[in-house]
Structure 1
Amino acid sequence: MDPVVSEKPPRIAIATRLRNNFLAGLIICAPVAITIWLTFAFIDWADSWVTPYLPQRYNPEYYFNIAIPGTGLVVAVVLITVIGFLGRNLIGRSIVNFGESILNRTPLVRTLYKSIKQIFETVLKDQSTSFKKVGLVEFPQAGTWALVFVAAEAQGELRQRFDAMGQEMVAVFLPPTPVPTAGFLLFVPKDKLILLDMTPEEAARLLISGGLIVPEHHMKTLPVPAAERRGGPA
């Protein structure tokens, strides 16, 4: 007698194909849909801030009687660019200095303004390396590693304090997963920070995905053994 060959019921095979096709379609459609949604959400947010202050004669919606997405965003970009152009010449610089002098004399507001201005100047200046490097530090205990964004070397009073202790410290930002919008500011010894070659964008994707999206990478140099980094025997 011929051996009986068991075959899977056709309905199971069809269900498996349907599930695989659905998952494949989800992988294709979900990123596109989320990207489009986030883009339009940002455009609507910008429009809600700018469009209400546009005079009717300068608002295209007044002539076409329909909402035109992106009008406020375009106006904001043009306005910021013009302000930047004017602020770089003598007359515009004088106006900016006058406005800053008023803010600097206003209680409470001056502290907020100086802090925000210093942050933007530090992050956006051409030579800035703030948050452009990614590293690893041992946190919350030895042998456990956390991904961090390198902010800058310690400055001011903090640097003086650390120098008195004979330590060269670096400020790093430790974000949580999966929403890296908040976190911890840590000062770690420079020799305990392991710099990575991945970009901040790749690190952000790694954090948001909970470690699922690991960037492809070819190491340029071999990692230094932990014992050697701590000054112990090799």
Structure 2
Amino acid sequence: MPRLQLNFKGHLVTGLLIWLPVAVTLWVLNLIVGTLDQTLTLLPEHWRPEALIGFHIPGLGVLLSVLILLGTGMLAANVLGQRLFSFWDALISRTPVVKSIYSSVKQVSDTLLSDSGQAFRQALLVQFPHQGSWTVAFQTGTPAADVASHLDGEEYVSVYVPTTPNPTSGYFIMVPKKDTRELEMSVDAALKYVISMGVVAPPGKDE
């Protein structure tokens, strides 16, 4: 009987380990598709699938979103498009209240998504939250000149310490560069390591 109970528990856990990632993946995809399908509301009501064919087709919003992003990128690649977006950017940047939100989000997105950005380019080991306790972090740059002038003269780096298992929240700290350890793992591998709470270890050099 104990043997049967042990096998039952083991099979149950094994089944959970197989289906849990599938369920979470499907849930996330459903959330993304459902959110992007809201872009269909941009179309005139008589152009929407419900009006044309009588029922909703999941995923059409994703296609529409991709087409909008592609078209915007193509428009921004020419001179006329650049002038239009510069005018739009200047208009939003002068709008009270909106400008503070817009400029902050734009700076972050430009830094993270731009090819010339330096965010998350290096995985590091830093001592956090106290000396002798190490965690994986990501170098995001160097302290601003005004901030650096108040530091002790050493070379500092700006570091983002993600939380586990949700790396989108975390802590921004500035630490002496000599107190960090550069890791040879890629940023993607380091993120997986953080998200998995250390369970999914990056492969070693010989693997």
Counterpart Cα distance in 2 of 1:28 and 1:98? 51
Corresponding residue pairs, total: 206
Is 21-30 or 82-91 further displaced after alignment? Answer: 21-30
Counterpart Cα distance in 2 of 1:20 and 1:101? 61
Shift of 1:132: 2.9
Equivalent position of 2:2 in the other structure: 12
Equivalent position of 2:201 in the other structure: 214
1:175 maps to which of 155, 162, 175? 162
Counterpart Cα distance in 2 of 1:147 and 1:59? 47
Equivalent position of 2:90 in the other structure: 101
Question: Structure 2 unaligned runs (5+)?
Answer: none
Matches within 5 A, 1:56-205: 56-162=45-151, 165-205=152-192
Cα deviations across residues 99-136 of structure 1 (Å, max 9, x unaligned)?
Answer: 12212222232232222222121111213331132111
Percent identical pairs in the alignment equals 30
Cα deviations across residues 167-223 of structure 1 (Å, max 9, x unaligned)?
Answer: 21111111222322222110011111111122333333333333222222238xxxx
Shift of 1:15: 3.2
Tell me the TM-score normalised to structure 1 length.
0.79
Shift of 1:161: 4.1
Counterpart Cα distance in 2 of 1:156 and 1:198? 30
Q: SS state of the match for residue 130, structure 1?
A: coil
Is 204-213 or 140-149 further displaced after alignment? Answer: 204-213
Counterpart Cα distance in 1 of 2:9 and 2:97? 59
2:25 aligned with 1:35: yes
Question: Structure 1 unaligned runs (5+)?
Answer: 1-10, 220-234
Tell me the TM-score normalised to structure 2 length.
0.88
Counterpart Cα distance in 1 of 2:199 and 2:48? 45
Counterpart Cα distance in 2 of 1:110 and 1:199? 35
| Aligned-pair Cα RMSD in Å | 2.1
